[in-house]
Amino acid sequence: MDPIRNPYAPGAGQRPPELAGRDRELRQFEVTLERIAAGRPDRSMVLSGLRGVGKTVLLNALRSQAVNRAWGTGKIEARPDQSLRLPLAQAVNAAIREVAHRHRDQERVDQVSGVLKAFALRTELKDRRATTAARRWQPPIDVPAAQGRADSGDLELDLVELFTDVAGLGRDLGVGIALFVDEMQDIPTVELAALCGACHEVSQQGAPLIVVGAGLPHLPVALAASKSYAERLFRYVAVDRLPREMADRAWSVPAGSEEVGYEPDALDELYALTDGYPYFVQAYGKVTWDVAVSSPIRASDVRDAAPEAEAELAVGFFGARYDRATPAERAWTVPAASEDATYEPKALDELYRLTDGYPYFVQAYGKVTWDTAVASPIQVSDVQEAAPEAEGELAVGFFGARYDRATPAEREYMRSMADLAQHHDDGAVPTSDVARSLGRKPQSLSPARDGLIKKGLVYSSERGTVAFTVPHFGKFLRAQLV
């Protein structure tokens, strides 16, 4: 069908045409906005989940809700190597600008802008030089910096004073201020504690200001570690895959807007391939649309489109976030058939044993095996001969970048995790087991564990456990690092 009319939109943080499966969260936030604007207390919100489940999309949708209600809003993306002060100053500046033109008392607006300027000017020189955006941005220059307000250098105290004043502007207009923080797990622990402390104080004051954060699954644990009351300070929302009904909606509603439908078998096949994983829903929907000739879209269209979708995911998404493998046999045989080549059954068995059906591995082993094979049908000996080269390429290009970021102690910790994970269905493992396997006390391994969490390589969804953030990383380490 016409690719120009293609209604699907795979992309990092890009809102799909139908934001299916997030109605509950949107309704919840609508109530939060109404309550806070009416002077009633409510909690800030934290979204957590694996990469690619749509946290950033949902975060942006929540911000749009606030904007539609005339709130002042600002958004930042946290970075582990940058202080929070300057990005927050930029976000607060954006929020002030959104409400300032409606405020009748310009002198009051200028007063708050002066407090913001004082807060921003306390940014250390090294943080101001950290990024190009930081070097370019300047606090409001048409007002003098306030003195004795938000300029102490103590981040928590300064945030309390800044948040209190900017929230006052919102209250004057019968609205509030909402600040949105993506990649929140990357905020250093000390600054995360300061942010929690400021949110706590502002909430106790009844000031109309909320912070909405999004991050990896270990974010709730990081917040609780920074401030013990953080578990009660935020409403925690786990962002996960779409259930079948919502995934069908994500495909059918956009297609319906173009007067195109799906046969039930096509939706069955799409869900079997994507398991409702939001990024995959869009990726497979887009390629299937381009492959299909007419409406209704059929299961054969989905099967024809699958290899291209898998290849695009392997390149653009790196296959690092799949939590369910697609049918591997089709991924090998269909592309090969287009070149009049086939596989012996034992060759397919060996490929699946090596890849476990993981789509990126499917493509990597398939490519090297093709280059190694002399003739059709491709034989098991071709796969075995190609395996070392495929493993070498994966070690460098797929997991290598992540693994190289780890220190020797962190790598030892991950290898122990990988060995133990095979007894836990490659899920979370007890930290006490990791310590026991290494012959160490749990406390002595805390630096390695914390370092891996900060680097986004592992997370802890429950106290005393740890798991890889990248699906199948444990299997890879066992295969590559023996």
- pLDDT over threshold 90, residue 217: no
Please give the single-letter amino acid code of residue 126: K
Same domain (yes/no): 214, 252: no
- Rounded to an integer, the average pLDDT of 56-72 is 95
Do 122 and 151 meet the contact criterion of CB atoms below 8 Å apart? yes
* Triad 328, 370, 355: Cα angle to 5°: 35
- Residue 341 CB-density burial (10 A; 0-12 exposed, 13-18 middle, 19+ buried): middle
Same domain (yes/no): 354, 429: no
Same domain (yes/no): 175, 52: yes
Q: What is the CATH number of the domain that holds 162?
A: 3.40.50.300
Q: What is the CATH number of the domain that holds 281?
A: 1.10.8
- Rounded to an integer, the average pLDDT of 162-185 is 95
- Please provide the distance, in angstroms rounded to a whole number, between the alpha carbons at the two ends of the chain: 49
Total tally of structural domains belonging to the chain: 4
- pLDDT over threshold 70, residue 328: no
Same domain (yes/no): 218, 183: yes
pLDDT at 135: 54
Secondary-structure breakdown of the chain: helix, strand, coil percentages, each rounded to the nearest 5: 60, 10, 35
Structure tokens at 94: 């954006």
Please give the single-letter amino acid code of residue 340: D
Do 285 and 312 meet the contact criterion of CB atoms below 8 Å apart? no
Same domain (yes/no): 90, 189: yes
Report d(CA 284, CA 201) in Å as an integer: 46
The average confidence (pLDDT) of the chain is 87
pLDDT at 132: 55
Is 294 part of any domain? yes
Bridge partners of 378?
A: 343
pLDDT at 323: 36
Same domain (yes/no): 121, 205: yes
Is 138 part of any domain? yes
In eight-state DSSP terms, residue 297 is: B
Percentage of the chain lying above the pLDDT 90 cut: 54
Is 89 part of any domain? yes
Q: Provide CB contacts within 8 A for 205, sequence distance 6+.
A: 164
Domain stops at, among 290, 319, 348:
319
Give residue-wise pLDDT tens across range 266-325: 999 999 998 888 888 999 999 999 999 999 999 999 999 999 888 877 765 533 333 332
Helices 264-274 and 299-316: angle between axes, nearest 10 degrees: 20
Greater confidence, 143 or 392? 143
- Rounded to an integer, the average pLDDT of 44-65 is 90
Is 438 part of any domain? yes
- pLDDT over threshold 50, residue 248: yes
pLDDT at 190: 93
Structure tokens at 270: 């799409």
- Residue 477 CB-density burial (10 A; 0-12 exposed, 13-18 middle, 19+ buried): buried
Do 310 and 365 meet the contact criterion of CB atoms below 8 Å apart? no
Report d(CA 449, CA 471) in Å as an integer: 18
Do 95 and 88 meet the contact criterion of CB atoms below 8 Å apart? no
Same domain (yes/no): 338, 406: no
Domain stops at, among 348, 368, 396:
396
Longest dimension (CA), the chain: 81
Percentage of the chain lying above the pLDDT 70 cut: 91
31-39, long-range: CB < 8 A, 24+ apart: 32/210, 32/235, 33/65, 33/66, 33/69, 33/71, 33/176, 33/178, 36/176, 36/208, 36/210, 37/69, 37/71, 37/174, 37/175, 37/176, 37/208, 39/206, 39/208
pLDDT band at 192 (very low <50, low <70, confident <90, very high): very high
The pairing of beta strand 234-238 with beta strand 177-182: unpaired
Number of neighbours of residue 243 by Cβ within 10 angstroms: 13
Is 10 part of any domain? no
Residue indicated by tokens 């929907």? 285
Report d(CA 456, CA 473) in Å as an integer: 13
pLDDT at 102: 93
Strand order in the sheet with 465-468: 429-430, 465-468, 458-459
Which residue, among 58, 16, 253, has the nearest Cα to 8 in the 3D structure? 16
Out of 30-34, 57-61, 461-465, pick the least confident.
461-465
pTM (global) more than 0.75:
no
Same domain (yes/no): 124, 108: yes
Instruction: For residue 47, give the H/E element and its range.
Output: strand 44-48
Number of neighbours of residue 126 by Cβ within 10 angstroms: 9
Helices first, then strands: H and E counts in the chain: 23, 8
pLDDT band at 196 (very low <50, low <70, confident <90, very high): very high
Same domain (yes/no): 428, 388: no
Out of 165-169, 183-187, 283-287, 343-347, pick the least confident.
343-347
The pairing of beta strand 465-468 with beta strand 429-430: antiparallel
Is 5 part of any domain? no
pLDDT at 26: 93
Report d(CA 311, CA 291) in Å as an integer: 15
Is 2 part of any domain? no
- Rounded to an integer, the average pLDDT of 192-215 is 95
- pLDDT over threshold 90, residue 1: no
Report d(CA 211, CA 44) in Å as an integer: 5
- pLDDT over threshold 50, residue 262: yes
pLDDT at 131: 55
Domain stops at, among 185, 218, 238:
238
Same domain (yes/no): 271, 390: no
Do 413 and 434 meet the contact criterion of CB atoms below 8 Å apart? yes
pLDDT at 214: 95
Q: Provide CB contacts within 8 A for 461, sequence distance 6+.
A: 217, 218, 220, 221, 428, 467
Please give the single-letter amino acid code of residue 260: V
Same domain (yes/no): 277, 365: no
Rg (CA), the chain: 25
Report d(CA 86, CA 138) in Å as an integer: 10
pLDDT at 250: 93
- pLDDT over threshold 90, residue 2: no
Give residue-wise pLDDT tens across range 93-126: 999 999 999 999 999 999 999 999 999 998 887 7
Do 263 and 297 meet the contact criterion of CB atoms below 8 Å apart? yes
Same domain (yes/no): 125, 37: yes
Give residue-wise pLDDT tens across range 336-385: 877 878 888 788 888 888 887 777 788 889 999 999 999 888 988 999 99
Is 151 part of any domain? yes
435: domain range?
A: 401-480
